[in-house]
Structure 1
């Protein structure tokens, strides 16, 4: 480029000499100014070219950095895409597993509901049989009802025992005999005998110290009669005393206290089938 500028200057001078033998001072100065302008332009072009090269170099570096960053992002994307694909596969497997578990639970629930339905059906039939068998004692304070799938036979103390006694009287024995006839036909029934009292303190009853004693001893008297006399298998019975702590009514009246003094015979169907379902 420098040589070109020089040749251009020489050309201009030659042209000037060819047209005129002698140059005027004015034209000579103009030629010199033209030469300076060309030299300045050449210098500036040199500077601009250097800046362009620096700019190009910077752009090339930026491009390389961007390519590296793009490759890094592509690698992360591929990694995330792989995890997503794996997650979708696992999710499908989990959904299938949950669906199978849900179906299994629904089946077990249906089985449990069927067992409970059979239990309630059996309890209702037992209740009807007991009501028929014990109908003659209903006026003496005997009731039969069903609660929570269990049959409750409630006998007031005046039906079973003389006042303050743990010895069953004749009317009480008759009621228990009729009850035993039904129980011996229902071998799948579990029998719990519960003694209950009012809140009045015990006075002068010899070996009976308090209401706990009275409730327990009366329940064991009933169990002994059912097992020893009526031959109901003892393995099916339990005897418990609740004392004064599960009253039916407030102990503020003679009638309420009379209702609270009672023997409750709780009859529960065996639920082995239900327990086996729960264990699964």
Structure 2
């Protein structure tokens, strides 16, 4: 409005200015007034724009605050409901009978006992595995250089030495007396066994059904057992391995170690297997204790 007024003043003044003689000073004063009016108008418009922007910002902030208040009110309501539920649960827990509390106590003690049992069982198994590894290394160092006639294995927690029929009985499928050339291997094996006084030894002889009945041999059962006892007897008599640690067993033609449809398979089935394992009494005691505990608790 100020700019329009300025233009009207100038317009009405123009005839007078042009119609009469106006001094230079008066004209310049009027021109300065017009510029001042324009400056005031521009400043006013800028102030209006700033005010409008501030108002929009305040409106947006108000909306955000209202949204936050709504969310906080919802959270407050949920918290109050949760607190009420917790108070109810605490009231119910406090009403537990003495028998229920005792049952919970026994359950916790049982869990602790099982944890201790598992730790002891792991320690016993770890001890067994460590002993097996030491035996395996010592056997390989002592008798690992006799080629295919000697096989040293660690399988399913058991160390075994397999001796071929060729080495022990000079490839004679009816023989059960040990050949002299096998004594070097058995002597080295005995030194390892004597170095490991806590291991148990099972000599398990396998035969293959080619036995011809003789005066002292009835069948393959007889032959397999006599072969096993020959090895045990030599370990005891010639190399002082304690008989309390040894077991002799025969499997006859059964439980073959390989398919019997090839010469190689039949030869493998005539091997004698010496099983060496740490004493399992600690593990057995743990298992028996667990079994007794389960029986007592009815588990």
Q: Do they fold alike, i.e. is TM over 0.5?
A: yes
Give the gaps of 5 or more residues in structure 2. Answer: 1-92, 290-299
Shift of 1:87: 6.0
Pick closer, same or farther for the CA change 1:254–1:223 going to 2, 3 Å: same
Question: What number of residue pairs does the alignment pair up?
Answer: 195
Whose radius of gyration is greater, 1 or 2?
1
SS at match of 1:103: helix
SS at match of 1:277: helix
1:141 corresponds to which residue?
149
Q: Which of these residues, 196, 208, 213, is aligned with residue 186 of structure 1?
A: 196
Cα RMSD after superposing both structures = 1.8
2:235 corresponds to which residue?
226
Pick closer, same or farther for the CA change 1:204–1:90 going to 2, 3 Å: closer
Q: Is the 8 A contact 1:152 1:267 kept in 2?
A: yes
Superposition map of 1:88-127 within 5 A: 88-127=97-136
SS at match of 1:209: coil
Shift of 1:93: 1.4
Q: Which of these residues, 250, 253, 268, is aligned with residue 244 of structure 1?
A: 253
Shift of 1:194: 0.6
Aligned equivalents of 1:209 and 1:170: distance in 2? 25
The TM-score normalised by the length of structure 1 is 0.66
Higher mean alpha-carbon deviation, 177-186 vs 162-171, is at 162-171
Superposed CA offset, 1:227-260 (max 9, x none)? 0011101111110111111112111111100011
Aligned equivalents of 2:128 and 2:122: distance in 1? 10
Superposed CA offset, 1:114-138 (max 9, x none)? 110110111011011101100221x
Q: Does 1:258 align with 2:267?
A: yes
Shift of 1:86: 8.0
1:173 corresponds to which residue?
183
The TM-score normalised by the length of structure 2 is 0.62
Give the gaps of 5 or more residues in structure 1. Answer: 1-83
1:156 corresponds to which residue?
164
Aligned equivalents of 1:128 and 1:171: distance in 2? 24
1:73 corresponds to which residue?
none
Superposed CA offset, 1:143-166 (max 9, x none)? 111122221111111110130211
Aligned equivalents of 1:197 and 1:218: distance in 2? 9
Pick closer, same or farther for the CA change 1:204–1:210 going to 2, 3 Å: closer
Shift of 1:140: 4.0
